[in-house]
A and B are shown apart, each in its own frame.
Chain A
Amino acid sequence: MAVSADEASRPFAGLSDVSISEDIPVEGDISVPMGTSSSNRQRGEDEFSTLDEPVKETILRDLRAVGSKFIHVLYPKRSTALLRDWDLWGPLLLCVTLALLLQGGAADSDDHGGPQFAEVFVIVWFGSIIITLNSKLLGGTISFFQSLCVLGYCIMPLTAAMAVCRIVLVGGSGTVSFIVRLVVVTASFGWSTFASTAFLADSQPPGRKALVVYPVFLFYFVIGWMVLTFSPSQ
Protein backbone atom coordinates (compact mmCIF):
# COMPACT_ATOMS: atom_id res chain seq x y z
CA MET A 1 0.00 0.00 0.00
CA ALA A 2 1.09 3.52 -0.63
CA VAL A 3 1.07 4.51 2.98
CA SER A 4 3.56 1.82 3.95
CA ALA A 5 6.51 4.16 3.72
CA ASP A 6 4.62 6.65 5.78
CA GLU A 7 3.76 4.05 8.31
CA ALA A 8 7.32 2.95 8.49
CA SER A 9 8.41 6.39 9.59
CA ARG A 10 5.55 6.76 12.03
CA PRO A 11 5.20 3.27 13.49
CA PHE A 12 2.46 4.15 15.89
CA ALA A 13 0.37 6.14 13.47
CA GLY A 14 -2.14 3.38 13.11
CA LEU A 15 -3.06 3.68 16.72
CA SER A 16 -4.21 7.22 16.53
CA ASP A 17 -7.77 6.15 15.98
CA VAL A 18 -7.90 3.99 19.08
CA SER A 19 -10.22 5.71 21.46
CA ILE A 20 -9.66 5.51 25.14
CA SER A 21 -12.96 5.45 26.92
CA GLU A 22 -13.56 8.12 29.45
CA ASP A 23 -14.04 5.85 32.39
CA ILE A 24 -10.48 4.57 32.40
CA PRO A 25 -8.46 7.53 33.59
CA VAL A 26 -4.79 7.42 32.88
CA GLU A 27 -2.83 9.03 35.60
CA GLY A 28 0.38 8.86 37.53
CA ASP A 29 3.87 9.04 36.14
CA ILE A 30 5.77 6.16 34.82
CA SER A 31 9.12 6.02 36.49
CA VAL A 32 11.00 2.82 37.08
CA PRO A 33 12.74 2.66 40.44
CA MET A 34 16.12 1.06 40.09
CA GLY A 35 17.18 -1.68 42.42
CA THR A 36 14.30 -1.66 44.82
CA SER A 37 11.82 -4.42 45.11
CA SER A 38 8.16 -3.73 44.92
CA SER A 39 7.88 -4.29 48.63
CA ASN A 40 9.53 -0.94 49.16
CA ARG A 41 6.58 0.75 47.59
CA GLN A 42 4.23 -1.24 49.70
CA ARG A 43 5.91 0.13 52.74
CA GLY A 44 4.70 3.53 51.75
CA GLU A 45 7.98 5.04 50.67
CA ASP A 46 7.83 7.30 47.71
CA GLU A 47 9.41 5.94 44.63
CA PHE A 48 13.04 6.80 44.77
CA SER A 49 16.08 5.49 43.14
CA THR A 50 18.55 3.73 45.35
CA LEU A 51 21.13 4.20 42.67
CA ASP A 52 21.83 7.70 43.93
CA GLU A 53 22.18 7.02 47.59
CA PRO A 54 25.59 6.74 49.16
CA VAL A 55 27.10 3.28 49.35
CA LYS A 56 27.22 3.45 53.11
CA GLU A 57 23.41 3.76 53.13
CA THR A 58 23.00 0.66 51.01
CA ILE A 59 25.31 -1.43 53.09
CA LEU A 60 23.87 -0.21 56.34
CA ARG A 61 20.36 -1.09 55.24
CA ASP A 62 21.34 -4.67 54.60
CA LEU A 63 23.29 -4.82 57.83
CA ARG A 64 20.34 -3.51 59.75
CA ALA A 65 18.12 -6.17 58.21
CA VAL A 66 20.59 -8.87 59.16
CA GLY A 67 20.94 -7.45 62.64
CA SER A 68 17.22 -7.32 63.24
CA LYS A 69 16.96 -10.98 62.33
CA PHE A 70 19.69 -11.83 64.79
CA ILE A 71 17.64 -10.13 67.48
CA HIS A 72 14.60 -12.14 66.42
CA VAL A 73 16.57 -15.31 66.96
CA LEU A 74 17.70 -14.13 70.37
CA TYR A 75 14.13 -13.59 71.48
CA PRO A 76 12.15 -16.03 69.41
CA LYS A 77 8.53 -15.05 69.17
CA ARG A 78 6.05 -16.16 66.63
CA SER A 79 6.62 -13.23 64.34
CA THR A 80 6.61 -13.22 60.62
CA ALA A 81 9.33 -10.65 60.15
CA LEU A 82 11.99 -13.30 59.77
CA LEU A 83 9.98 -15.11 57.17
CA ARG A 84 8.80 -12.19 55.13
CA ASP A 85 12.14 -10.63 54.28
CA TRP A 86 14.43 -13.54 53.98
CA ASP A 87 18.05 -13.10 53.18
CA LEU A 88 20.95 -15.48 53.14
CA TRP A 89 23.68 -13.11 54.33
CA GLY A 90 23.24 -14.07 57.95
CA PRO A 91 23.42 -17.81 57.37
CA LEU A 92 26.50 -17.39 55.21
CA LEU A 93 28.21 -15.28 57.84
CA LEU A 94 27.35 -17.74 60.60
CA CYS A 95 28.41 -20.76 58.58
CA VAL A 96 31.79 -19.25 57.70
CA THR A 97 32.37 -18.21 61.31
CA LEU A 98 31.48 -21.65 62.61
CA ALA A 99 33.66 -23.41 60.05
CA LEU A 100 36.59 -21.12 60.84
CA LEU A 101 36.19 -21.64 64.57
CA LEU A 102 36.19 -25.40 64.05
CA GLN A 103 39.57 -25.26 62.39
CA GLY A 104 42.82 -25.58 64.15
CA GLY A 105 41.86 -28.58 66.18
CA ALA A 106 43.73 -31.89 66.10
CA ALA A 107 44.89 -30.97 62.67
CA ASP A 108 48.11 -32.90 62.74
CA SER A 109 46.48 -35.90 61.10
CA ASP A 110 43.69 -34.83 58.86
CA ASP A 111 42.44 -38.38 58.60
CA HIS A 112 41.25 -38.65 62.14
CA GLY A 113 40.75 -35.07 63.07
CA GLY A 114 37.84 -32.76 63.21
CA PRO A 115 35.74 -31.66 60.29
CA GLN A 116 37.40 -29.83 57.48
CA PHE A 117 36.13 -26.42 56.44
CA ALA A 118 34.34 -27.88 53.44
CA GLU A 119 32.72 -30.59 55.51
CA VAL A 120 31.14 -28.04 57.82
CA PHE A 121 29.84 -26.08 54.85
CA VAL A 122 28.42 -29.19 53.23
CA ILE A 123 26.76 -30.38 56.40
CA VAL A 124 25.17 -27.01 57.13
CA TRP A 125 23.97 -26.18 53.65
CA PHE A 126 23.01 -29.63 52.44
CA GLY A 127 21.41 -30.36 55.77
CA SER A 128 19.31 -27.22 55.50
CA ILE A 129 18.34 -28.03 51.92
CA ILE A 130 17.30 -31.57 52.80
CA ILE A 131 15.25 -30.40 55.77
CA THR A 132 13.55 -27.79 53.62
CA LEU A 133 12.74 -30.35 50.94
CA ASN A 134 11.44 -32.68 53.61
CA SER A 135 9.08 -30.08 55.03
CA LYS A 136 7.86 -29.11 51.58
CA LEU A 137 7.26 -32.71 50.61
CA LEU A 138 5.22 -33.21 53.75
CA GLY A 139 2.99 -30.38 52.69
CA GLY A 140 4.45 -27.31 54.33
CA THR A 141 3.53 -23.85 53.12
CA ILE A 142 6.84 -22.21 53.75
CA SER A 143 8.91 -21.31 50.75
CA PHE A 144 12.30 -22.80 50.00
CA PHE A 145 14.46 -19.78 50.74
CA GLN A 146 12.47 -18.72 53.77
CA SER A 147 13.16 -22.06 55.33
CA LEU A 148 16.86 -21.89 54.47
CA CYS A 149 16.94 -18.43 56.02
CA VAL A 150 15.34 -19.58 59.28
CA LEU A 151 17.51 -22.66 59.65
CA GLY A 152 20.65 -20.66 58.92
CA TYR A 153 19.89 -17.88 61.37
CA CYS A 154 19.08 -20.33 64.14
CA ILE A 155 22.64 -21.65 64.02
CA MET A 156 23.61 -18.48 65.85
CA PRO A 157 23.36 -19.90 69.39
CA LEU A 158 25.61 -22.80 68.40
CA THR A 159 28.17 -20.46 66.87
CA ALA A 160 28.16 -18.45 70.07
CA ALA A 161 28.63 -21.69 72.02
CA MET A 162 31.59 -22.56 69.79
CA ALA A 163 33.23 -19.25 70.59
CA VAL A 164 32.64 -19.83 74.30
CA CYS A 165 34.06 -23.36 74.03
CA ARG A 166 37.23 -22.13 72.43
CA ILE A 167 37.68 -19.57 75.15
CA VAL A 168 37.10 -22.23 77.82
CA LEU A 169 39.57 -24.55 76.13
CA VAL A 170 42.26 -21.92 76.39
CA GLY A 171 42.02 -22.37 80.12
CA GLY A 172 42.56 -26.11 79.97
CA SER A 173 40.84 -29.24 78.72
CA GLY A 174 40.13 -31.25 81.81
CA THR A 175 36.91 -32.59 83.20
CA VAL A 176 35.70 -29.26 84.55
CA SER A 177 36.08 -27.57 81.21
CA PHE A 178 34.30 -30.50 79.58
CA ILE A 179 31.34 -30.16 81.90
CA VAL A 180 31.15 -26.44 81.30
CA ARG A 181 31.28 -26.99 77.56
CA LEU A 182 28.66 -29.72 77.75
CA VAL A 183 26.28 -27.44 79.60
CA VAL A 184 26.84 -24.55 77.21
CA VAL A 185 26.43 -26.69 74.09
CA THR A 186 23.32 -28.41 75.40
CA ALA A 187 21.71 -25.10 76.28
CA SER A 188 22.46 -23.55 72.91
CA PHE A 189 21.32 -26.67 71.04
CA GLY A 190 18.00 -26.52 72.86
CA TRP A 191 17.75 -22.81 72.12
CA SER A 192 18.43 -23.32 68.40
CA THR A 193 15.86 -26.05 68.07
CA PHE A 194 13.28 -24.09 70.01
CA ALA A 195 13.87 -20.94 67.97
CA SER A 196 13.63 -22.63 64.62
CA THR A 197 10.52 -24.62 65.50
CA ALA A 198 8.89 -21.42 66.72
CA PHE A 199 9.26 -20.08 63.21
CA LEU A 200 8.66 -23.22 61.23
CA ALA A 201 5.93 -25.04 63.11
CA ASP A 202 3.10 -22.79 62.04
CA SER A 203 3.54 -23.54 58.40
CA GLN A 204 3.11 -27.29 58.73
CA PRO A 205 -0.09 -29.24 58.37
CA PRO A 206 -1.41 -30.51 61.69
CA GLY A 207 -0.58 -34.08 62.53
CA ARG A 208 2.79 -33.82 60.85
CA LYS A 209 4.52 -31.27 63.01
CA ALA A 210 6.64 -33.86 64.77
CA LEU A 211 7.71 -35.28 61.43
CA VAL A 212 9.09 -31.89 60.47
CA VAL A 213 10.63 -31.00 63.83
CA TYR A 214 12.59 -34.23 64.18
CA PRO A 215 15.03 -33.58 61.28
CA VAL A 216 15.64 -30.08 62.63
CA PHE A 217 16.46 -31.62 66.00
CA LEU A 218 18.84 -34.07 64.34
CA PHE A 219 20.51 -31.30 62.35
CA TYR A 220 21.28 -29.13 65.37
CA PHE A 221 22.28 -32.21 67.35
CA VAL A 222 24.94 -33.06 64.78
CA ILE A 223 26.22 -29.49 64.73
CA GLY A 224 26.23 -29.47 68.54
CA TRP A 225 28.22 -32.70 68.47
CA MET A 226 30.79 -31.11 66.17
CA VAL A 227 31.07 -28.14 68.54
CA LEU A 228 31.38 -30.28 71.64
CA THR A 229 33.97 -32.68 70.31
CA PHE A 230 36.31 -29.97 69.16
CA SER A 231 39.60 -30.80 70.71
CA PRO A 232 42.55 -28.50 70.37
CA SER A 233 45.79 -29.77 68.93
CA GLN A 234 48.50 -30.29 71.46
Chain B
Amino acid sequence: MASPNDLQFQEFEEAAELLSADPGASTLSMSASNTSTTAAGGGRGGPGGEDVKLDLSEEEGEEESSELLGGQKPTGGFWTFEYYQSFFNVDTVQVLDRVKGSLMPLPGRNFIKHNLRSNPDLYGPFWICVTLVFSVAISGNLSSFLSERGNPSYHYRPQFHRVTIAALVIFMYAWLVPIGLWGFLTWRQGAERQIGGYTFLETVCVYGYSLFIYIPTSVLWIIPFEWLRWTVILVAMVISGSVLVLTFWPVVREDTKVMAVATVVTIVVLHTLLAVGCKMYFFQIAVHVPSVVPITPTITQ
Protein backbone atom coordinates (compact mmCIF):
# COMPACT_ATOMS: atom_id res chain seq x y z
CA MET B 1 0.00 0.00 0.00
CA ALA B 2 1.37 3.38 -0.85
CA SER B 3 1.68 5.64 2.09
CA PRO B 4 0.56 9.23 1.73
CA ASN B 5 4.11 10.41 2.21
CA ASP B 6 5.23 8.80 -1.00
CA LEU B 7 2.60 10.66 -2.93
CA GLN B 8 3.74 14.04 -1.77
CA PHE B 9 5.97 16.08 -3.99
CA GLN B 10 9.43 15.84 -2.56
CA GLU B 11 11.07 19.20 -2.34
CA PHE B 12 14.56 19.05 -3.62
CA GLU B 13 15.99 21.34 -1.03
CA GLU B 14 16.09 18.15 0.96
CA ALA B 15 18.57 16.75 -1.47
CA ALA B 16 21.31 17.06 1.07
CA GLU B 17 19.33 15.04 3.58
CA LEU B 18 18.59 12.41 1.02
CA LEU B 19 22.22 12.23 0.07
CA SER B 20 23.37 11.87 3.63
CA ALA B 21 20.90 9.08 4.08
CA ASP B 22 22.21 7.25 1.06
CA PRO B 23 25.72 8.34 0.16
CA GLY B 24 25.96 5.89 -2.69
CA ALA B 25 23.21 7.49 -4.71
CA SER B 26 24.18 9.09 -7.98
CA THR B 27 23.86 12.83 -8.09
CA LEU B 28 23.22 15.13 -10.95
CA SER B 29 24.12 18.76 -10.83
CA MET B 30 22.52 21.08 -13.32
CA SER B 31 24.31 24.26 -14.15
CA ALA B 32 22.22 27.38 -14.31
CA SER B 33 22.87 27.98 -17.96
CA ASN B 34 21.58 24.62 -19.02
CA THR B 35 17.97 25.12 -19.88
CA SER B 36 17.78 22.52 -22.55
CA THR B 37 15.43 19.65 -22.12
CA THR B 38 16.56 16.59 -23.86
CA ALA B 39 14.28 13.97 -25.22
CA ALA B 40 15.25 11.22 -22.85
CA GLY B 41 14.08 13.19 -19.92
CA GLY B 42 17.46 13.03 -18.27
CA GLY B 43 19.91 15.86 -18.28
CA ARG B 44 23.51 16.45 -18.80
CA GLY B 45 25.88 19.03 -17.49
CA GLY B 46 26.62 22.14 -19.47
CA PRO B 47 29.45 22.22 -21.95
CA GLY B 48 32.56 20.91 -20.39
CA GLY B 49 30.72 18.92 -17.79
CA GLU B 50 32.37 15.64 -18.47
CA ASP B 51 32.37 14.79 -14.83
CA VAL B 52 28.59 14.66 -14.58
CA LYS B 53 27.39 11.11 -14.82
CA LEU B 54 23.82 9.97 -14.92
CA ASP B 55 23.25 6.36 -14.04
CA LEU B 56 20.21 5.59 -16.05
CA SER B 57 20.48 1.89 -15.47
CA GLU B 58 22.93 -0.77 -14.58
CA GLU B 59 24.50 -1.42 -17.89
CA GLU B 60 27.22 -3.85 -18.69
CA GLY B 61 28.06 -1.78 -21.73
CA GLU B 62 29.65 0.81 -19.48
CA GLU B 63 32.95 -1.03 -19.21
CA GLU B 64 33.33 -1.57 -22.93
CA SER B 65 32.48 1.99 -23.74
CA SER B 66 34.98 3.33 -21.26
CA GLU B 67 37.66 1.28 -22.96
CA LEU B 68 36.71 2.67 -26.29
CA LEU B 69 36.65 6.24 -25.18
CA GLY B 70 39.70 6.78 -23.08
CA GLY B 71 39.58 9.97 -21.17
CA GLN B 72 35.95 10.92 -21.37
CA LYS B 73 33.34 8.56 -20.06
CA PRO B 74 30.05 8.95 -21.88
CA THR B 75 26.85 9.02 -19.94
CA GLY B 76 24.41 6.21 -20.38
CA GLY B 77 24.50 3.18 -22.59
CA PHE B 78 24.90 3.29 -26.32
CA TRP B 79 21.15 3.22 -26.88
CA THR B 80 20.54 6.55 -25.15
CA PHE B 81 20.69 9.92 -26.81
CA GLU B 82 23.11 11.32 -24.22
CA TYR B 83 25.75 8.81 -25.25
CA TYR B 84 25.94 10.37 -28.69
CA GLN B 85 25.63 13.89 -27.36
CA SER B 86 28.91 13.39 -25.55
CA PHE B 87 30.60 13.12 -28.94
CA PHE B 88 29.40 16.56 -29.97
CA ASN B 89 30.59 18.42 -26.93
CA VAL B 90 32.55 21.07 -28.78
CA ASP B 91 32.22 24.78 -29.37
CA THR B 92 32.85 26.66 -32.57
CA VAL B 93 36.19 27.91 -31.30
CA GLN B 94 37.39 24.41 -30.52
CA VAL B 95 36.45 23.09 -33.94
CA LEU B 96 38.24 25.96 -35.65
CA ASP B 97 41.30 25.33 -33.47
CA ARG B 98 41.37 21.70 -34.48
CA VAL B 99 41.04 22.58 -38.14
CA LYS B 100 43.93 24.99 -37.84
CA GLY B 101 45.96 22.34 -36.07
CA SER B 102 45.41 19.96 -38.94
CA LEU B 103 46.60 22.57 -41.42
CA MET B 104 49.85 23.32 -39.64
CA PRO B 105 51.59 20.21 -38.41
CA LEU B 106 54.69 20.97 -36.43
CA PRO B 107 57.11 18.25 -35.42
CA GLY B 108 56.67 17.59 -31.76
CA ARG B 109 53.03 18.68 -31.74
CA ASN B 110 50.92 15.61 -31.60
CA PHE B 111 47.45 16.43 -32.93
CA ILE B 112 45.70 14.20 -30.46
CA LYS B 113 47.53 15.34 -27.39
CA HIS B 114 47.65 18.98 -28.34
CA ASN B 115 44.33 19.66 -29.98
CA LEU B 116 41.96 16.95 -28.89
CA ARG B 117 42.97 16.82 -25.23
CA SER B 118 40.78 13.81 -24.54
CA ASN B 119 37.68 15.42 -25.94
CA PRO B 120 37.39 13.83 -29.34
CA ASP B 121 34.34 14.81 -31.31
CA LEU B 122 32.43 13.44 -34.23
CA TYR B 123 31.21 16.78 -35.56
CA GLY B 124 34.45 17.63 -37.32
CA PRO B 125 35.09 14.32 -39.07
CA PHE B 126 31.50 13.92 -40.22
CA TRP B 127 30.96 17.38 -41.65
CA ILE B 128 34.42 17.58 -43.14
CA CYS B 129 33.73 14.33 -45.00
CA VAL B 130 30.36 15.59 -46.23
CA THR B 131 31.86 18.87 -47.40
CA LEU B 132 34.68 17.02 -49.10
CA VAL B 133 32.26 14.75 -50.93
CA PHE B 134 30.35 17.67 -52.37
CA SER B 135 33.39 19.78 -53.08
CA VAL B 136 35.09 16.97 -54.97
CA ALA B 137 31.97 16.16 -56.99
CA ILE B 138 31.13 19.78 -57.79
CA SER B 139 34.71 20.78 -58.59
CA GLY B 140 35.12 17.73 -60.78
CA ASN B 141 32.01 18.65 -62.66
CA LEU B 142 33.17 22.25 -63.08
CA SER B 143 36.62 21.22 -64.23
CA SER B 144 35.32 18.86 -66.87
CA PHE B 145 32.98 21.60 -68.04
CA LEU B 146 35.84 24.07 -68.32
CA SER B 147 38.12 21.63 -70.08
CA GLU B 148 35.51 20.92 -72.74
CA ARG B 149 34.64 24.50 -73.49
CA GLY B 150 36.21 24.48 -76.92
CA ASN B 151 34.43 21.31 -77.94
CA PRO B 152 31.25 22.16 -79.83
CA SER B 153 29.78 18.68 -79.53
CA TYR B 154 30.01 18.71 -75.76
CA HIS B 155 26.75 18.94 -73.90
CA TYR B 156 26.96 19.86 -70.26
CA ARG B 157 25.81 17.26 -67.80
CA PRO B 158 25.59 17.65 -64.02
CA GLN B 159 26.78 14.07 -63.37
CA PHE B 160 25.10 13.51 -60.06
CA HIS B 161 26.11 9.89 -59.87
CA ARG B 162 29.56 11.15 -58.95
CA VAL B 163 28.25 12.41 -55.63
CA THR B 164 27.26 8.88 -54.70
CA ILE B 165 30.61 7.46 -55.68
CA ALA B 166 32.52 10.20 -53.88
CA ALA B 167 30.44 9.67 -50.76
CA LEU B 168 31.11 5.92 -50.77
CA VAL B 169 34.84 6.28 -51.25
CA ILE B 170 35.42 9.07 -48.76
CA PHE B 171 33.25 7.71 -45.99
CA MET B 172 34.73 4.26 -46.35
CA TYR B 173 38.21 5.72 -46.12
CA ALA B 174 37.36 7.89 -43.15
CA TRP B 175 35.83 5.02 -41.20
CA LEU B 176 37.35 1.73 -42.30
CA VAL B 177 40.98 2.81 -42.27
CA PRO B 178 40.81 4.15 -38.68
CA ILE B 179 39.06 0.97 -37.59
CA GLY B 180 41.77 -1.13 -39.17
CA LEU B 181 44.57 1.02 -37.82
CA TRP B 182 43.16 1.18 -34.32
CA GLY B 183 42.57 -2.56 -34.26
CA PHE B 184 46.08 -3.21 -35.49
CA LEU B 185 47.70 -0.88 -32.96
CA THR B 186 45.68 -2.27 -30.09
CA TRP B 187 46.63 -5.78 -31.06
CA ARG B 188 50.30 -4.86 -31.24
CA GLN B 189 50.23 -3.27 -27.81
CA GLY B 190 48.82 -6.41 -26.34
CA ALA B 191 46.44 -6.53 -23.44
CA GLU B 192 48.04 -3.76 -21.40
CA ARG B 193 46.95 -0.27 -22.27
CA GLN B 194 50.00 1.84 -22.59
CA ILE B 195 49.83 5.54 -22.10
CA GLY B 196 50.57 6.09 -25.73
CA GLY B 197 47.62 4.14 -27.01
CA TYR B 198 44.87 6.02 -28.72
CA THR B 199 41.21 5.33 -28.37
CA PHE B 200 39.08 4.50 -31.37
CA LEU B 201 37.34 7.85 -31.39
CA GLU B 202 40.59 9.75 -31.33
CA THR B 203 41.82 7.80 -34.35
CA VAL B 204 38.65 8.58 -36.29
CA CYS B 205 38.97 12.21 -35.25
CA VAL B 206 42.54 12.52 -36.50
CA TYR B 207 41.68 10.99 -39.84
CA GLY B 208 38.64 13.21 -40.21
CA TYR B 209 40.46 16.42 -39.49
CA SER B 210 43.41 15.43 -41.65
CA LEU B 211 41.06 15.32 -44.64
CA PHE B 212 40.24 18.99 -44.26
CA ILE B 213 43.09 20.18 -46.45
CA TYR B 214 41.63 18.34 -49.42
CA ILE B 215 38.67 20.70 -49.50
CA PRO B 216 40.58 23.78 -50.68
CA THR B 217 42.74 21.45 -52.75
CA SER B 218 39.75 20.17 -54.67
CA VAL B 219 38.57 23.72 -55.30
CA LEU B 220 42.02 24.65 -56.62
CA TRP B 221 41.92 21.66 -58.94
CA ILE B 222 39.36 23.44 -61.07
CA ILE B 223 42.20 25.44 -62.58
CA PRO B 224 43.09 23.42 -65.63
CA PHE B 225 46.89 23.38 -65.50
CA GLU B 226 48.35 19.95 -64.87
CA TRP B 227 51.53 21.18 -63.24
CA LEU B 228 49.49 23.27 -60.81
CA ARG B 229 47.28 20.33 -59.96
CA TRP B 230 50.20 18.06 -59.22
CA THR B 231 51.92 20.71 -57.12
CA VAL B 232 48.79 21.34 -55.11
CA ILE B 233 48.16 17.68 -54.52
CA LEU B 234 51.75 17.13 -53.41
CA VAL B 235 51.54 19.96 -50.92
CA ALA B 236 48.25 18.68 -49.58
CA MET B 237 49.54 15.15 -49.25
CA VAL B 238 52.64 16.30 -47.43
CA ILE B 239 50.68 18.36 -44.95
CA SER B 240 47.96 15.90 -44.15
CA GLY B 241 50.29 12.93 -44.31
CA SER B 242 52.58 14.57 -41.79
CA VAL B 243 49.67 15.21 -39.46
CA LEU B 244 48.98 11.51 -39.48
CA VAL B 245 52.59 10.45 -39.23
CA LEU B 246 53.36 12.84 -36.38
CA THR B 247 50.35 11.56 -34.53
CA PHE B 248 51.03 7.88 -34.91
CA TRP B 249 54.80 7.78 -34.80
CA PRO B 250 55.14 8.05 -30.98
CA VAL B 251 52.83 5.09 -30.57
CA VAL B 252 54.43 2.94 -33.20
CA ARG B 253 58.01 3.78 -32.35
CA GLU B 254 58.02 1.44 -29.37
CA ASP B 255 57.43 -1.49 -31.64
CA THR B 256 60.07 -3.31 -33.62
CA LYS B 257 61.69 -1.25 -36.31
CA VAL B 258 60.21 -3.23 -39.15
CA MET B 259 56.66 -3.03 -37.94
CA ALA B 260 56.98 0.64 -37.10
CA VAL B 261 58.19 1.58 -40.53
CA ALA B 262 55.69 -0.71 -42.21
CA THR B 263 52.78 0.85 -40.33
CA VAL B 264 53.78 4.37 -41.14
CA VAL B 265 54.37 3.51 -44.76
CA THR B 266 50.93 1.90 -44.99
CA ILE B 267 49.29 4.99 -43.57
CA VAL B 268 51.03 7.21 -46.07
CA VAL B 269 50.35 4.91 -49.00
CA LEU B 270 46.64 4.69 -48.27
CA HIS B 271 46.42 8.43 -47.95
CA THR B 272 48.21 8.88 -51.24
CA LEU B 273 45.94 6.40 -52.94
CA LEU B 274 42.89 8.33 -51.83
CA ALA B 275 44.19 11.65 -53.07
CA VAL B 276 45.48 10.42 -56.39
CA GLY B 277 42.46 8.22 -56.97
CA CYS B 278 40.12 11.14 -56.44
CA LYS B 279 42.11 13.28 -58.78
CA MET B 280 42.22 10.68 -61.52
CA TYR B 281 38.56 9.81 -61.36
CA PHE B 282 36.92 13.14 -60.81
CA PHE B 283 39.27 15.44 -62.63
CA GLN B 284 39.92 13.73 -65.89
CA ILE B 285 41.72 15.48 -68.66
CA ALA B 286 39.76 16.09 -71.82
CA VAL B 287 41.96 13.73 -73.81
CA HIS B 288 40.13 10.51 -72.97
CA VAL B 289 36.67 11.63 -73.48
CA PRO B 290 34.52 12.54 -76.39
CA SER B 291 31.71 11.85 -73.99
CA VAL B 292 32.19 11.78 -70.27
CA VAL B 293 32.58 8.22 -69.04
CA PRO B 294 34.39 6.68 -66.05
CA ILE B 295 37.94 5.36 -66.20
CA THR B 296 37.19 2.15 -68.09
CA PRO B 297 35.76 3.35 -71.35
CA THR B 298 36.28 0.06 -73.12
CA ILE B 299 32.59 -0.67 -73.42
CA THR B 300 31.15 1.38 -76.22
CA GLN B 301 27.53 1.39 -77.25
Interface residues of A (CB under 8 A from B): 106, 109, 111-115, 119, 134, 136-141, 205, 207-211, 214-215, 218, 221-222, 225-226, 229-231, 234
Contacts and interface: CB of A to CB of B under 8 A. Distances in A.
B134 A222 contact: yes
A112 B161 contact: yes
Interface string B267-301: 00000000000000000000000011000000000
B193 interface: no
Interface in B154-205: 155-161
B93 A211 contact: no
Q: Is the interface of A mostly helix, strand, loop or mixed?
A: loop
Nearest to B301: A109
Given A141-B35, A205-B36, A207-B47, A113 B157 contact: yes
Most buried by A among B39, B84, B91: B91
B292 A138 contact: no
Contact of B85 (A139, A218, A231): A139
Contacts of A115: 158, 160
B158 A106 contact: yes
B131 interface: yes
A114 B123 contact: no
Interface in B9-59: 35-37, 39, 47
A211 B90 contact: yes
Given A112-B292, A225-B138, A226-B158, A211 B37 contact: no
Contact of B88 (A137, A230, A231, A234): A137
B239 interface: no
A234 B130 contact: no
A99 to B, nearest CB: 13
B156 A231 contact: yes
26 contacts: A106-B155, A106-B156, A106-B157, A111-B161, A112-B159, A112-B291, A113-B157, A113-B160, A115-B160, A137-B84, A137-B123, A140-B36, A207-B47, A208-B90, A208-B91, A208-B92, A211-B91, A211-B92, A211-B95, A215-B127, A215-B130, A218-B130, A221-B134, A226-B158, A226-B160, A229-B158
Given A140-B36, A208-B92, A112 B134 contact: no
A234 B157 CA distance: 12
Give the 6 A-B residue pairs with the shortest CB-CB distance, closest first.
A229-B158, A137-B88, A207-B91, A112-B157, A210-B92, A115-B160
Interface of B: 35-37, 39, 47, 81, 84-85, 87-88, 90-93, 95, 123, 127, 130-131, 134, 138, 141, 155-161, 291-292
A109 B292 CA distance: 11
Given A137-B123, A208-B92, A229-B141, 17 more contacts: A106-B155, A112-B291, A134-B88, A134-B127, A137-B85, A139-B47, A207-B91, A211-B92, A211-B123, A218-B131, A221-B134, A226-B158, A229-B156, A229-B158, A231-B156, A231-B157, A234-B155
Contacts of B134: 218, 221-222
A211 B47 CA distance: 14
Contacts, number: 77
B47 A134 contact: no
B88 A138 contact: yes
Contacts of B36: 139-141, 205
Given A218-B130, A231-B158, A141 B37 contact: yes
Contacts of A225: 138
Nearest to A120: B160
Given A114-B160, A226-B158, A205 B47 contact: yes
Contacts of B91: 207-208, 211
Most buried by A among B85, B155, B160: B160
A209 B92 contact: yes
Nearest to B96: A210
A134 B157 contact: no
Nearest to B134: A222
Contacts of A221: 134
A207 B159 CA distance: 38
Contacts of A226: 158, 160
A114 B36 CA distance: 42
A113 B184 CA distance: 42
A106 B134 CA distance: 21
A106 B141 CA distance: 15
Contacts of A230: 158
Contacts of A136: 39, 81
Contact of A119 (B155, B160, B291): B160
A156 to B, nearest CB: 22
A197 B149 CA distance: 38
A138 B92 contact: no
Contact of A134 (B93, B123, B131): B123
B125 to A, nearest CB: 13
